Structure 1
Amino acid sequence: MDLSALLTPEAVKVVGDVSSKKRLMQSISEIAETMVNVPAHRIFEALQERESLGPTGVGQGIALPHARLSEIDKIMGVFLRLERPIDFDAADRQPVDLVFVLLAPLETGVDHLKALALVARTLRNQALCSKLRANNDPLALYSLLTESEATQAA
C-alpha cells in the first residue's frame, strides 16, 4: 500500500478559512463528499464520532482524523494544509496545520491500521513537513507526498 493508492490530486487542498476544529471537520466532509459519494453530514458525523473517542492531533502540527463508513468500499485519503494553524487538542498542545484524513470501509480490518501507520510514518519526516508547509500549490503538495514514499522505499 502506498499514498498514491489512498490519495488523488483532487483530494489535496490548501485551506485558509477554518477557525476551529469543528469547521475543519465540516470542510473535510464537504471535500470528501464528492470523492466518496457519501453525504457530507454523514462523513462529518463519522469523523466527530471518532474524535469523541480521543483527539487525533498527533503532535508537531499534524492531525490524522479518520473514520469508518459503511457506504464506501475502499480506503480514501484527503490532505489539507491549513494557512492558519488551529487548535486540535494535540498531545503536545501545538496548533495543527497539516491534516491527513483517512476514510475507510466499515469492514476494512487491518488495512485501515496499515494505512494509518503509513501516513503517520510519512508525516514523521520533518524535512517533508517543512516542504509541505512552504508550498501553496495542491499539485505540488500531492507530488511531495507521493514522491516522498517512493524515495523512502528506495
Structure 2
Amino acid sequence: MDFSSILKPEAVKVIHSASSKKRLFHQLGELVGSAYGFDVESTCEALLDRESLGPTGVGRGVALPHARLEGIDTVAGVFIRLETPLEFDSVDRQPVDLIFALLAPTDSGVDHLKALALVSRTLREASICAKLRANDSAQILHTILTEDPATQAA
C-alpha cells in the first residue's frame, strides 16, 4: 500500500483556518464528498464519533482523524494544511496544522491499519512535515505525500 492508492490529487487542500475541530471535520467531510463522492454528513459524524473516543492529534502539529464508513469499498484519504494552526487536544498540547483524515470501509480489517500505519510513519518524518509546511500548492503537497520514499531523502 502506498499514498497514491489512498490519496487523490483533488483530496488535498490548503485552508486558511478552521474555527473549531467540528468545523474542520465538516471541511474534511466536504473534501471527501467532492474527491470521492462519499456522503458528507456520514463522514463528519463518523470522524466526530471516533474523535469522541480520544483525540487524534498525534503531536508536532499533526492530526490523523480516521473512521470507518458504511457504504464505501476502498480506503481513502484527504489532507488539509491549515495556515493558522488549530487547538486539537493533541498529546503534546500543540495546535495542529497538518491533518490527514483516513476513511475505510467498515469491513476493511487490516487495510485500514496498514493505511493508518503508512500515514503515521510518513507524518512522523520531520523533513516531510517541513516540506508540507513550506508549500501552499495542493498539487505540490500531493506530490510530496505520494513521492516514492526512496527519493524523499534526496
Range into which the TM-score falls when normalised by the shorter chain = over 0.9
Which residue of the partner structure matches residue 50 of structure 2? 50
Which residue of the partner structure matches residue 40 of structure 1? 40
Alignment: residue pair count: 154
Which residue of the partner structure matches residue 122 of structure 2? 122
Map 1:51-66 onto structure 2 (within 5 A): 51-66=51-66
**TM-score of the pair, normalised by structure 1:** 0.95
Q: Is the CA contact 1:2–1:118 (under 8 Å) kept in the aligned structure 2?
A: yes
1:19-40 per-residue CA deviation (whole Å, 9 max, x = no partner) reads: 2111100100111112332321
1:26-62 per-residue CA deviation (whole Å, 9 max, x = no partner) reads: 1001111123323211111000010011100000000
Structure 1, unaligned runs of 5 or more:
none
Which residue of the partner structure matches residue 85 of structure 1? 85
Q: Is the CA contact 1:81–1:98 (under 8 Å) kept in the aligned structure 2?
A: yes
**TM-score of the pair, normalised by structure 2:** 0.95
Letter matched to residue 48 of structure 2: Q
Structure 1 residues 86 and 148: alpha-carbon distance in aligned structure 2, compared to 1, 3 A threshold: farther
Identity of aligned residues (%): 59
Distance in 2 of aligned mates of 1:59 and 1:17: 19
Matched, 1:133 2:127: no
Q: Is the CA contact 2:13–2:138 (under 8 Å) kept in the aligned structure 1?
A: yes
Distance in 1 of aligned mates of 2:122 and 2:50: 22
The structure that is helix-richer by fraction is 1
Letter matched to residue 84 of structure 1: T
Cα-Cα RMSD: 1.6
Q: Which runs of 4+ in 1 moved over 4 A?
A: none
Distance in 1 of aligned mates of 2:18 and 2:149: 29
Matched, 1:21 2:16: no
Letter matched to residue 117 of structure 2: A
| Secondary structure of the corresponding residue to residue 88 of structure 1 | coil
Structure 2, unaligned runs of 5 or more:
none
Q: Which 10-residue stretch deviates more, 37-46 or 111-120? A: 37-46
Letter matched to residue 114 of structure 1: K
